[in-house]
């Protein structure tokens, strides 16, 4: 059974159609990427899974249970953490406080401090900066806090919305390496990414979203050889 299964998902903003019949799956422990241009509906897809935008029709099931009737906080409790576009940290709070907020639904103190250590191992710079206000960090470091905060919810599925956008190359490489490490430690990841080369390099399978529908899907290897993807998204 797939961990996440989306069937014929339709989402509107008012009368405007944002997703028109999207179907996809994520298996346990899998890293799946969603590629696509601006406005394709990538963020909308993650918001629909998190239940922060209403669903017009279609089904989303997670570990065999429908997410459709759930409010957003129950989706988090079910094991899905969403790291949104633009990071959305609390800028005046310290790095540590921002990370701790990711565990707001948990009360297992030992587990929380073990996970905090794990985040610091993944991103050592955050351990050095833990007492600093989040607003004083670089964009790439703030992205690490955002990913770390999502991990503090100990998700079974991590939703990442364009984690590398606007980040210097060196930090970008580090962020993609940490995403792979998170997957290798057993967490399934649905990664939205505009950088096709990076996405194809890290994901096992990829869906290409265009104008609210799935235009291509397949293994990263197969899609890396696809003429359309090569011309339009890889520029080769």
Ligand X SMILES: Nc1ncnc2c1ncn2[C@@H]1O[C@H](COP(=O)(O)OP(=O)(O)OP(=O)(O)O)[C@@H](O)[C@H]1O
Least Å distance between CB 21 and ligand X? 15
Query: Which 76-115 positions form the footprint of Mg ion (CB under 5 A)?
Result: 85
Least Å distance between CB 161 and Mg ion? 6
3-class DSSP state of 32: strand
Our finding on whether 43 is near Mg ion (CB under 5 A) is yes
Q: Residues 203, 35: contact at Cβ < 8 Å?
A: no
DSSP labels for 152-198? TT--SEEEEE-TTTT--HHHHHHHHHHHHHHHHTT-EEEEEES-HHH
Query: Which 184-213 positions form the footprint of ligand X (CB under 6 A)?
Result: 194
CA–CA gap between residue 161 and residue 35 (Å, rounded): 11
Closer to ligand X at the Cβ: 96 or 192?
192
Query: Which 80-139 positions form the footprint of ligand X (CB under 6 A)?
Result: 85
All residues at 6 or more sequence positions from 213 whose CB lies less than 8 Å from its CB, including other chains: 19, 20, 21, 22
Residue among 1, 38, 92, 186 that touches ligand X (CB under 6 A): 38
Stretch that binds ligand X, among 31-39, 57-65, 116-124, 214-222 (CB under 6 A): 31-39
Burial of 115 (0-12, 13-18, 19+ CB in 10 A): buried
**Residues binding Mg ion: what is the number (CB under 5 A)?**
3
Residue among 6, 22, 26, 36 that touches ligand X (CB under 6 A): 36
**Site of interaction with ligand X (CB under 6 A):** 13, 16, 18, 36, 38-44, 85, 194
- Sites of contact with Mg ion (CB under 5 A): 42-43, 85
């Amino acid at each position: 059974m797939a961990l996440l299964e989306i069937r014929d998902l339709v989402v509107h903003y008012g009368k405007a159609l944002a997703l028109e019949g999207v179907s996809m799956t994520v298996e346990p422990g899998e890293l799946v990427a969603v590629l696509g241009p601006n406005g394709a509906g990538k963020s909308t897809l993650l918001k629909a899974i998190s239940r922060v935008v209403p669903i017009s029709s279609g089904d989303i099931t997670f570990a065999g249970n429908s997410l459709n009737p759930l409010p957003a906080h129950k989706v988090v409790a079910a094991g899905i953490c969403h790291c949104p576009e633009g990071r959305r940290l609390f800028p005046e709070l310290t790095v540590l406080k921002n990370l701790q907020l990711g565990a707001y639904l948990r009360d297992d103190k030992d587990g929380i401090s073990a996970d905090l250590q794990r985040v610091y191992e993944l991103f050592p710079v955050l351990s050095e900066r833990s007492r600093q206000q989040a607003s004083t960090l670089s964009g790439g470091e703030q992205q690490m806090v955002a990913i770390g905060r999502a991990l503090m919810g100990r998700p079974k599925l991590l939703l990442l919305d364009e984690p590398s956008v606007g980040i210097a190359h060196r930090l970008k490489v580090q962020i993609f390496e940490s995403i792979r490490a998170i997957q290798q430690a057993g967490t399934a990841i649905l990664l939205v990414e505009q950088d096709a080369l990076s996405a194809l390099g890290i994901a096992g399978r990829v869906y290409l979203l265009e104008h609210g529908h799935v235009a291509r899907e397949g293994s990263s290897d197969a899609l890396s050889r696809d003429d359309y993807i090569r011309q339009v998204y890889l520029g080769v």
